[in-house]
Chains A and B, each alone.
Chain A
Amino acid sequence: MHIAVCIKQVPDTRNVRIDPDTHTLVRQGVESIINPFDLFAVEAALKIKDENNARVTVVTMGPPQATEALRDTMGLGVDDAVLLSDRAFAGSDTWATSTTLAAAIKKMGDVDLILCGKQAVDGDTAQVGPEMAALLDIPYATFVKKIDLGDGNSIRAIRQTDEGTEIWKLPTPALLTVIKEIGEPRVPSLRFKMRAKKAEIPVWGAADLGLDTNCVGLCGSFTQVVRIFSPPRRTDRILIEGSVEEQAERLFNYMKQSRVPGI
């Protein structure tokens, strides 16, 4: 079984702060991390590998420095990695990103299962997984918290939705997007880290993927950002003072004023 995991490098929001004067995002010196949900996807793939005869390839689209993210996952036990990097890929929206990733999966040829994180924590769209599945014309399931391998031609995915839990059976090849409940990522091992250090990571550009540069990156995107601004700040904060009993009573009065159903 060949499992491909799609990952993304994102800014580490733990260090993101808002400039108090300009109200804009200060990201200077902010390090890049692997999107936390994608680490859950890597863990899900490695769990399958632990118990079955599976090969795991991790793929990312990004600048050359994204190689570091790929090596980090190899330190966890991932077998191979591919970097999709080309100046033409810059400015991709979810459609252009999905187009590029789907082309890479096609080029690999023999992928049985594609795993993605539920969403990336910088863009929060949750769209790339389903859009890739649509482009590859394979079945998919989102918000998966548990994966059971079936008879070899199908898998069982347990989904967590707003309403509850669902158990789906999907024929392979299939794509799943996973959530935290799938399992916390393992720690890297020395042996894998040594191998990761030496590993050759192929870099595929638009030409390698057979993609026209007009179909990727900003040129190939359908959506366009026309304005970016800081959200209006709350200026209406009321600090409730007094004894604990007074605080409780005053807060409850405000709660009633909010006219929320049920209060």
Chain B
Amino acid sequence: MKALIDRKKCTVCGVCSDACPVGAIELKEDHIEISDDCTLCGICVDTCEFGALSLPAVGTGPAADLSSYKGVWVYAEWRDGAVHSVSHELLSAGRVLADKKGVELGAVLLGSGIGEDTARELVSYGADSVYVVDRPELAKFTDEIYSNALIELIKQKRPEILLAGATSMGRSFVPRVAASLQTGLTADCTELDISSEGLLLQTRPAFGGNIMATIICPNRRPQMATVRPKVMRPAKREGHEGRVERVELPADCFQGRVEVLEVIPETDQTGRLTEADVIVTGGRGLRKAENFSMIEELANLVNGAVGASRGAVEEGWIAPSHQVGQTGRTVAPALYMAVGVSGAIQHLVGMQGSKTIIAVNKDPHAPIFDVATYGVVADLFDFVPALIKCIRRERGQL
């Protein structure tokens, strides 16, 4: 199977041929030919301004009874007594989707010793119903038991859409839920909408953020997506009314094969990259390990976490857990400050989703400036101390 060509619309302009990542489109004298190398990636389809290319439709399979699925659900991530902030973001986004479809917004809380206040708080973010499963076996996260519980709830209540945070927990267990229910899942979405046909439009970055793709799941339910934290805006809805339902599930849901021997929380707050609102990252421009103390001091002043480029990690100046980029963490904080980082594509793909990006580099042509909101061309050894001094003076700490 390969991309389809509408010969009547094709002008043989050759744009698709240049764009094809696998070189499968050959330009002949008066037509184009697509070879068996085509991987159906769809890149050509969107480069064609004449609408001459399309992809064959996904398999319809045995059509499930789609109409029996109703409502938008948010998986509210609970850990050690607290609900993760991404859950509030998702409820706010889910509220918009539910209103567009004219259906209920549900929230699912899985955990142990969940208080009424914790459940009620989800109502204040827009949930109409909060389903609580409270069991001692859910005190510690394992993929098996968490997905068993969510699968059982979905089978009972049949929501048509399910959203979860693209956190290390969500990205780990939600794929098991989707595969077990035999439905589609889209990872790490940054935009959600409802199509004119009522389908969930799931938009996500691909190829390291160089391309955005909108994905649908037309023939299976629920339509499932994990959503990148800190992208959606949380909005409280004071006075919103909703109900809390405690659900009992069959005991075999809570039998798992994995044993959690130990949980060691990260004590170094500066290393908690994916949850930070502010990240200050140091790169090779720092020249030696000792100079990272300057980055740490600045990060502390702005309540930020400390990030590092691959170069800085490879030099051994800082632990790999701080690495931002393709083989490290993908982050999208409200404020990202890159100091002495040139901005190789592998770094950019890990941070270009940040809301505000500050780049400090002495080379005005460094690629990091291409993604920056604010650019400072300066020697970091002059600039960072000046910025620290400026912040301290403002706060009366000098």
**A is bound by B:** yes
Contact between B390 and A249, CB atoms less than 8 A apart? yes
Contact between B302 and A263, CB atoms less than 8 A apart? yes
Considering only CB atoms and an 8 Å cut-off, how many residues of chain B contact the other chain?
Answer: 121
Q: A130-B143, A133-B176, A134-B179 are in contact. Are A236 and B266 (CB under 8 A)?
A: no
Verify if A227 is at the interface (C-beta below 8 Å from B): yes
Closest-CB distance, A231 to chain B (whole angstroms): 5
CA A165 – CA B266 in complex, angstroms?
A: 7
Q: A247-B383, A251-B358, A260-B278 are in contact. Are A135 and B207 (CB under 8 A)?
A: no
Verify if A52 is at the interface (C-beta below 8 Å from B): no
Q: Would you list which residues of chain B between 171 and 185 have a CB under 8 Å from chain A? A: 171-173, 175-176, 178-180, 182-185
Which stretch from B66-74, B89-97, B108-116, B212-220 is at the chain A interface?
B212-220
Contact between A262 and B47, CB atoms less than 8 A apart? no
Verify if A223 is at the interface (C-beta below 8 Å from B): yes
Main secondary structure of the interface of B (DSSP, over half): mixed
Verify if B118 is at the interface (C-beta below 8 Å from A): no
Contact between A262 and B277, CB atoms less than 8 A apart? yes
Q: Which residue of A lies closest to B38 (CB)?
A: A90
Contact between B374 and A141, CB atoms less than 8 A apart? no
Contact between B36 and A87, CB atoms less than 8 A apart? yes
Verify if B327 is at the interface (C-beta below 8 Å from A): yes
Verify if B55 is at the interface (C-beta below 8 Å from A): yes
Verify if B124 is at the interface (C-beta below 8 Å from A): no
Contact between B47 and A22, CB atoms less than 8 A apart? yes
Verify if A49 is at the interface (C-beta below 8 Å from B): no
Contact between B302 and A169, CB atoms less than 8 A apart? no
Q: Which residue of A lies closest to B337 (CB)?
A: A255
Verify if B238 is at the interface (C-beta below 8 Å from A): no
Which stretch from B98-106, B245-253, B254-262, B283-291 is at the chain A interface?
B254-262
Partner of B369, one of A88, A90, A143, A237: A237
Q: Which residues of A contact B258 (CB under 8 A)?
A: 139, 141, 168-170
Which stretch from A69-77, A200-208, A214-222 is at the chain B interface?
A214-222
Contact between A240 and B334, CB atoms less than 8 A apart? no
Contact between A143 and B260, CB atoms less than 8 A apart? no
Q: Which residue of B lies closest to A18 (CB)?
A: B210
Verify if A16 is at the interface (C-beta below 8 Å from B): yes
Contact between B172 and A142, CB atoms less than 8 A apart? yes
Contact between A93 and B184, CB atoms less than 8 A apart? yes
Contact between B171 and A13, CB atoms less than 8 A apart? no
Verify if A81 is at the interface (C-beta below 8 Å from B): no
CA A260 – CA B265 in complex, angstroms?
A: 25
Q: Which residues of A contact B55 (CB under 8 A)?
A: 91, 218, 224-225
Q: A36-B326, A139-B257, A140-B143 are in contact. Are A166 and B21 (CB under 8 A)?
A: no
Q: A13-B326, A13-B345, A168-B142 are in contact. Are A222 and B179 (CB under 8 A)?
A: no
Contact between B168 and A230, CB atoms less than 8 A apart? no
CA A37 – CA B327 in complex, angstroms?
A: 7
Contact between A166 and B260, CB atoms less than 8 A apart? yes
Contact between B257 and A171, CB atoms less than 8 A apart? yes
Contact between A156 and B168, CB atoms less than 8 A apart? no
CA A21 – CA B77 in complex, angstroms?
A: 42
Q: Mark A72-102, 1 if CB is under 8 A from B, else 0.
A: 0000000000000001101101110010000
Looking at B168, B182, B320, B356, which has the most chain A CB atoms within 10 Å of its CB?
B168
Looking at A156, A162, A168, A245, which has the most chain B CB atoms within 10 Å of its CB?
A162
Q: Would you list which residues of chain B between 303 and 333 have a CB under 8 Å from chain A? A: 303-304, 320-321, 323, 326-328, 330
Q: Mark A28-68, 1 if CB is under 8 A from B, else 0.
A: 10100000110000000000000000000000000100000
Which stretch from B56-64, B128-136, B156-164 is at the chain A interface?
B56-64
Closest-CB distance, B168 to chain A (whole angstroms): 4
Q: Can you list 10 A-B pairs, Cβ within 8 angstroms, ordered by A? A: A18-B210, A122-B207, A142-B143, A168-B142, A219-B59, A239-B375, A240-B374, A240-B375, A248-B390, A258-B356
Could you list 4 further interchain pairs (A-B, Cβ under 8 angstroms) beyond the known A63-B22, A218-B1, A241-B377?
A122-B206, A162-B272, A244-B382, A248-B389
